[in-house]
């Protein structure tokens, strides 16, 4: 059974320019993300600094713009100074967040070297869990101050003469969560975040500072937390964070497929709350959203259970979720939501990059391969260019427990006026059947368009996944049904599918 989905696009429906920072990711000292993920000195592909070049290549292919580091829950117990200086003097510490041991072989300097090779902008999180204002100032001095101070001279002595000029700084991580080391209530966090931000700005007024928002939209303090924290920190910060993870729970596939509805709601609510605070404070300033953790994550599976008892392993297998075709479709839809909100989402970080709920997987000493989610990320990052366009979607709806009803299709587009490239990202998130796509592009102000490419990610088994032995089981395929005739785009979108349709102008 098929039904019709009609998209209305117009070159005037502009949301904001595409922001490269939408395509950020996250590297945490967690499981095998750092050790045997980005860094494995004994690996055949390792370079002279111990970085896996196969992972570096995949990171570049993924199109990652910025990377948040070093956590995550990890950062709330982390001492940054353990990770700098001569390797043989670095201590091994227990990481309480993930019940692991950290040899501190990788720290700030190694991460910055890796970021340069990966061609990504760093985003650094300070510890406001067990630490506070002084830690924030110290790590800022070590990273960014020109030579001539105690800590910047330590950096120079460690072989890094030039300041790193890290611009984006997260003021702690998920401080609203009772699981966080040094968890605080909103008032307590508002104080330490504001005072850290104020002091950091004394060192450098141009930093971009991100205050912790809510760990997800279901937190009991959601909304009130942002209100309290921003009321105090408003003047000193640029962005408020949002985190969200989605998964199919208790076999409720329909609600899972509609997950982007929650992301839309989450972003809209944070923006509304931030603007409410701005109005209260009579401020013209607009606080932006840093969606600095988002992904599919099956949190309740065994893969996410940390070691326990006397077992404190280095780099244990943790959070190594294997993603299905359906996961990739929902994931692609989350990217659609992020792009659609480019007017207020200034930065986003896919959590995480390698091995830990990641698009890139590695075997210690062995292969690296792409998960299903690699593909929508790489294609969106590569082809979302120019301005984001709001797309009006007329589609049937499907019922689900979480949202009541949701539209069967969701879409966003980007339009690059200079090159004439129009790119449509569209999902059929209804399990019940094919959607017949219809888009009248003759009067949208795009000129005459021709089809460049239509790719669809779909698998007849929505639970099919990629493995190291079969890494291409789920990958985008040409969608031969998509055609452009007399200014009208048409095609078939299979049930549970994500598509990218690329068009370009043929006339000026
Ligand atoms: O990304 C995994 C974990 O999820 C992070 O450490 C934490 O910030 C979040 O709860």
Concatenating the DSSP letter of every residue in 204-240 gives -TT-EEEE---SSTTSTTTTHHHHHHHHHHGGG-SEE
Q: Same domain, yes or no, for 369 and 396? A: no
Same domain, yes or no: 299 and 437: no
> Which residue's alpha carbon is at the smallest distance from atom 3 of ligand 1?
72
For the CA of 179, the nearest atom of ligand 1: 10
24, 173, 350, best to mutate for ligand 1 pocket (most atoms within 8 Å of CB): 173
Does 228 lie in the same domain as 341?
yes
CATH code of the domain in which 257 resides: 3.20.20.80
- Ligand 1 near 132 CB (within 6 A): no
Last residue of a domain, one of 332, 367, 383: 383
Q: Are residues 71 and 185 in the same domain?
A: yes
How high is the pLDDT of residue 53? Answer: 98
Judge if the beta carbon of residue 321 lies within 6 A of ligand 1. no
Q: Which atom of ligand 1 is nearest to the CA of 352?
A: 1
Q: What is the CA radius of gyration of the chain?
A: 23
| 33 and 109 part of one domain | yes
Determine which residue's CA is closest to atom 5 belonging to ligand 1. 72
460 is a catalytic site residue: no
Q: Are residues 340 and 404 in the same domain?
A: no
Closest ligand 1 atom to residue 293 Cα is 1
Q: Which domain holds residue 65?
A: 19-383
- Whether 293 lines ligand 1, by a CB cut-off of 6 Å, is yes
CA distance 75 to 504: 45
Active-site residue, from 174, 226, 232, 387: 174
Measured distance CA(202)–CA(378) in Å, rounded: 38
pLDDT in tens, the chain (508 residues): 569 999 999 999 999 999 999 999 999 999 999 999 999 999 999 999 999 999 999 999 999 999 999 999 999 999 999 999 999 999 999 999 999 999 999 999 999 999 999 999 999 999 999 999 999 999 999 999 999 999 999 999 999 999 999 999 999 999 999 999 999 999 999 999 999 999 999 999 999 999 999 999 999 999 999 999 999 999 999 999 999 999 999 999 999 999 999 999 999 999 999 999 999 999 999 999 999 999 999 999 988 999 999 999 999 999 999 999 999 999 999 999 999 999 999 999 999 999 999 999 999 999 999 999 999 999 999 999 999 999 999 999 999 999 999 999 999 999 999 999 999 999 999 999 999 999 999 999 999 999 999 999 999 999 999 999 999 999 999 999 999 999 999 999 999 999 999 999 997 6
Any catalytic annotation for residue 135?
Answer: no
Asked if residue 155 and residue 91 are part of one domain, the reply reads yes
261 CB under 6 A from ligand 1? Answer: no
For ligand 1, the distance from its centroid to the CA atom of residue 356, given in whole angstroms, is 10
Ligand 1: which of 67, 69, 73 to mutate, judged by most atoms within 8 Å of the beta carbon? 73
Q: Are 204 and 140 within 8 A, CB to CB?
A: yes
Ligand 1 neighbourhood includes 173 CB (under 6 angstroms): yes
Ligand 1 lined by 190 (C-beta under 6 Å): no
pLDDT value for 508: 60
Q: 379 near 370, Cβ under 8 Å?
A: no
Q: Which residues of 204-243 are buried (b: 16+ CB within 10 A; e: fewer)?
A: eeebbbbbbbbbbbebebbbebbbbbbebbbebbbbbbbb
Closest among 198, 279, 188 to 235, alpha carbons compared: 198
Q: Are the CB atoms for 355 and 33 separated by under 8 Å? A: yes
pTM of the model: 0.97
* Ligand 1 site, residue 174, Cβ cutoff 6 A: yes
Q: Quote the DSSP letter at residue 109.
A: H
Picking from 355, 383, 411, the residue at the C-terminal end of a domain is 383
73 lines ligand 1 (CB under 6 A): yes
The domain that contains 494 carries what CATH number?
2.60.40.1180
Structure tokens at 431: 């399990």
366 and 401 in one domain? no
Nearest atom within ligand 1 for CA of residue 173: 8
> What is the distance between the alpha carbons of residues 292 and 297, in angstroms, rounded to a whole number?
15
In angstroms, the CA 84 to CA 94 distance is 17
Same-domain check for residues 268 and 149:
yes
pLDDT in the model for residue 5: 97
Pocket lining: 125 vs ligand 1, CB cutoff 6 Å? no
The Cβ of residue 380 has, within 10 Å, a number of other Cβ atoms equal to 25
188 prior amide bond cis, ω within 30: no
Pair (408, 436) in one structural domain: yes
Q: Do 122 and 246 sit in the same domain of this protein?
A: yes
End residue of a domain, out of 339, 354, 383: 383
Give yes or no: residues 302 and 191 share one domain. yes
Domain total of the chain = 2
């Amino acid at each position: 059974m098929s039904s019709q989905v009609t998209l209305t696009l117009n070159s005037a429906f502009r949301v904001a320019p595409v922001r490269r920072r939408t395509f950020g990711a996250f590297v945490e000292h967690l499981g095998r993300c750092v050790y045997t993920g980005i860094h494995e000195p004994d690996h055949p592909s390792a370079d002279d600094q111990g970085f896996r070049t196969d992972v570096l290549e995949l990171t570049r292919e993924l199109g990652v713009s910025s990377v948040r580091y070093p956590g995550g829950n990890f950062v709330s117990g982390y001492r940054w100074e353990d990770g700098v200086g001569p390797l043989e003097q670095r201590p091994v510490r227990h990481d309480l967040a993930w019940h692991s041991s950290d040899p501190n072989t990788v720290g700030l300097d190694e991460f910055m070297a890796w970021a340069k090779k990966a061609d990504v902008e760093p985003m650094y999180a300070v510890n406001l869990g067990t630490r506070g204002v002084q830690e924030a100032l110290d790590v800022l001095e070590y990273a960014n101050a020109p030579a001539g101070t105690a800590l910047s001279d330590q950096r120079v002595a460690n072989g890094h003469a030039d300041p790193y000029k890290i611009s984006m700084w997260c003021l702690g991580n998920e401080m609203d969560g009772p699981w966080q080391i040094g968890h605080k209530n909103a008032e307590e966090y508002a104080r330490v975040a504001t005072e850290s931000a104020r002091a950091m700005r004394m060192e450098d007024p141009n930093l971009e500072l991100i205050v912790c928002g809510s760990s997800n939209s279901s937190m009991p303090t959601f909304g009130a937390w942002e209100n309290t924290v921003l009321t105090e920190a408003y003047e000193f910060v640029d962005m408020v964070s949002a985190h969200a993870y989605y998964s199919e729970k208790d076999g409720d596939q329909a609600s899972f497929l509609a997950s982007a509805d929650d992301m839309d709601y989450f972003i809209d609510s944070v923006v509304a709350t931030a603007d409410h605070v701005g109005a209260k404070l009579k401020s013209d300033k607009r606080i932006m959203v840093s969606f600095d953790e988002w992904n599919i994550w099956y949190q309740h599976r065994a893969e996410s259970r940390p070691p326990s008892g006397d077992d404190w392993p280095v780099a244990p297998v943790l959070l190594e979720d294997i993603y299905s075709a359906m996961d990739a479709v929902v994931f692609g839809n989350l990217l659609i939501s992020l792009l659609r909100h480019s007017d207020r989402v200034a930065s986003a970080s896919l959590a995480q990059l390698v091995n830990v709920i990641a698009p890139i997987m590695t075997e210690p000493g062995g292969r690296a391969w792409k998960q299903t989610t690699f593909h929508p990320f790489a294609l969106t990052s590569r082809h979302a260019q120019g301005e984001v366009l709001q797309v009006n979607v007329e589609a049937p709806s499907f019922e689900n427990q979480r949202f009541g009803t949701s539209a069967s299709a969701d879409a966003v587009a980007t339009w690059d006026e200079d090159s004439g490239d129009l790119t449509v990202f569209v999902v059929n998130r209804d399990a019940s059947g094919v959607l017949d796509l219809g888009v009248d592009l003759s009067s949208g102000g795009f000129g005459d368009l021709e089809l460049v490419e239509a790719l669809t990610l779909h698998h007849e088994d929505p639970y099919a996944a990629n493995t190291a032995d079969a890494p291409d089981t789920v990958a985008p395929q040409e969608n031969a049904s998509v055609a452009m005739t007399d200014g009208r785009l048409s095609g078939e979108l299979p049930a549970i599918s994500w598509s990218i349709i690329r068009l370009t102008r043929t006339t000026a």
